[in-house]
Structure 1
Amino acid sequence: MNKAAKIYIAGHRGLVGSAIKRKLEQQGYQNLLCRTSKELDLRNQQAVEDFFQAEKPEYIFLAAAKVGGIQANHNYPADFIHDNLVMQSNVIDAASRHGVKKLLFLGSSCIYPKFAPQPMRETDLLTGTLEPTNEPYAIAKIAGIKMCQAYNRQYGTQFICAMPTNLYGPQDNFDLENSHVLPALLRRFHEAKRTESPTVTVWGTGKPKREFLHVDDLADACHFLMLHYQDNEIINIGTGKDLTIKELAQMMKEIVGYQGKLIFDPTKPDGTPRKLLEVSKIYKLGWQAQISLKEGIKQTYQWYQAYF
């Protein structure tokens, strides 16, 4: 992937896509193709076809997706399965027909069964039932994986599939209703500190365990895999470490400087009991995460304060 190659970053304004764009710019890539959803609606097959016909990208980072936390997945299941299926199908098919040299498809750790053995290995895919709260999204992502693998087998394409763990960082969605747990908590603590609220309520029991990866580490991994990974099988990207939601909340409370009390609401869903990725495969290739969770949350909070 030479520095002058035409590289299309699908979803360049989102959490993941913006980090990949920053990484590639830092590495000196000079020919990045970026389109907003208004400029190019990936759900529109003809629009996607016209884009590929005109621009002829050589490499693709497929980071465009409709994403959200438990409540968003609960409220908009049809949107989550439809939009993701259509967007990824349009891009993957066009990439094959227009001779794209390599495509990286980004999945999610939610593709694994709800009660998969921990940590979750790549071979655990499709060995059990999914977590109901995000099943439509997970099924769409699994379809994307299988589509890439099928195109590789039938057409000889080089479409690789990376499964990141829970992500956070600059450009995240901090909406209290539709965001993931870490940005939602960060905003909640910030608002509680600002208004001197005596309590902050956290959904669920606080017992589920989660792994978190800074999005800049993910971008570094995506660049690394585009250069060094050719396998038709999926590959996990994570830190190999997790903590409880209660421990996460306490860490964030300390970073924000909130002095009030934490309350856990067990009437709200916990989601999957544990989600830790087994990451020896990517570690053996020579990549490891560099940003600690505490340092990453500090950086994210500084970014949040600057922009909100």
Structure 2
Amino acid sequence: MLTYKPIIGITMGDGAGVGPEIIMKALSDEKLYETCAPFVIGDKNILERAGIITGNKAEIKQISSIDEASFKFGVVEVVDLELLPKDLPFGRVSAEAGNAAFRYLEKAIELANQGKIDAICTAPLNKEALHKGGHIYPGHTEILAELTKTEDYSMMLSAPNLKVIHVTTHVGIIDAIKQITPSRVYKVITLAYETLRKAGYEKPRIAVCGINPHAGENGLFGNGEEEEKIIPAVEKAQAEGIEVNGPLPADTLFFRTVRGDFDIVVAMYHDQGHGPVKVLGLEAGVNITVGLPIIRTSVDHGTAFDIAGKGIADELSLKEAIRQAIELAPKR
């Protein structure tokens, strides 16, 4: 029986950074082609340059549509937008490269809307270059949310034995507590549930962190935040048949999840969720945007302008991002 291999669109990111190099390194692994059908959205001449730098002798083949792709190892297929010169300087902020990085994402969403791809995996972009190119966004997540007209989304970090989704992310701790509401907690619980269901989990087991030490310990710590902000959301989700527990003490919850008690943790704020994942290793963590109409995964590092063009950038985070895209892509 043939097993369907998800089609993964890899956006090239900022061409002046390490994105093209780590893509060519990742696609030099024959085993990758056994589990997915990868192709690149970017610029052919930049990938050819990256192939020389990294020693990947694969043929770089331009395709105009996914229907032309063979997804064979030894051939890196690229939807070539022809936006960058081959001699684009390494490690420099460039409006040209910033605009191109945006256009790659735009093309990826176009293909997703056409039902041509199953997931998007993004190489890093540079925010300063993005802004110089005329696209004023904090980063990938906000671009993808606008392009897909998505209002409710969340950041999920995923490592081999731990998945964490966040109620709040890039705000200070005082502001984070203000932003935690029953409606937001409930929404993130349902995002976690829907994401794992689409990925093939029959009945996802969801655990919700408390805000205070020991999840408040029945009012001993804090000012009743768990009772006010979390419990109503958990009870609402439980009433709808979702298998969710909480609020639970964060100091033991992540250990229990890695052990296998739960499939995903709902973290209340940035460091509560990021810390445990990054302890497992920076190369293991992958940034995932959930709530979009398509799965999007990303490396958990930047453009690394300081080493761009040297062929020494580590591709492990990108390979893990592709692996997670394969795991979370809807099963056909």
Q: Above 0.5 in TM-score?
A: no
Q: Which has the larger radius of gyration?
A: 2
Provide TM-score, normalisation by structure 2: 0.29
- Of Structure 1 and Structure 2, the greater helix share is in 1
Q: Which gives a bigger RCO, structure 1 or 2 (Cα 8 Å, sep 6+)?
A: 2
